[in-house]
Amino acid sequence: MKFNIETGKSNPKLRHISAPVEKAEMKKFAMLWEEMIKYIKDPENNWVWLAAPQVWIEKRVICVSLMKTYDDKSFKTVYMINPEILSHSEEIEIDNEGCLSVPKKFWDVARAKDIKVKYLDGKWKEITLLLSGISARIVQHEVDHLDWILFIDKIVEAEEEAKNHVF
């Protein structure tokens, strides 16, 4: 499936708090979640994350690759329904991020090194994970999309001028 990705820092679809998925909606959206996974696994796309609002669906679902490093070839890709970050470490890591919704732009973003996330899987089973490093960063980035936050809203002070860049 080819997605039309929502882009632009002022795009109302990206600046809207996403609604939780209800259990009754699972069948309606199940195929979409699988297509999101296929999209980010496709080597042509070369991305490790995608949120439902980026593909015109204002629901709390993210598709993420859980990996140790960006070169990790054995990563697991999952979708998380109604993800919630329960806690995060005080230790912060700064790393370069990009986003499909802000094409070809990369800036340093500070994020918690470790997080505890709770979500529902495709069988409506609650799962809790402790994530660290890149996996924690990926989930934080995507959960932000569900709460109308783009990574450019969180760039480090040294790159503050990027917020004013026209997209």
**Binding annotation:** 99, 141, 145
Instruction: List the one residue out of 36, 42, 162, 44 whose CA is nearest residue 97.
Output: 162
Q: State the DSSP string of 122-165.
A: TTS-EEEEEEEHHHHHHHHHHHHHHBT--GGGGB-GGGGGGGGS
142 catalytic? Reply is yes
CB 5 within 8 A of CB 56: no
Q: Which residues are annotated as a binding site for Fe cation?
A: 99, 141, 145
Find the catalytic residue in 34, 93, 142, 161: 142
Instruction: Give the C-alpha separation, 51 to 142, whole Å.
Output: 6
- For residue 27, the SS3 value is helix
CB 85 within 8 A of CB 140: yes
Q: List, by residue number, the catalytic residues.
A: 142
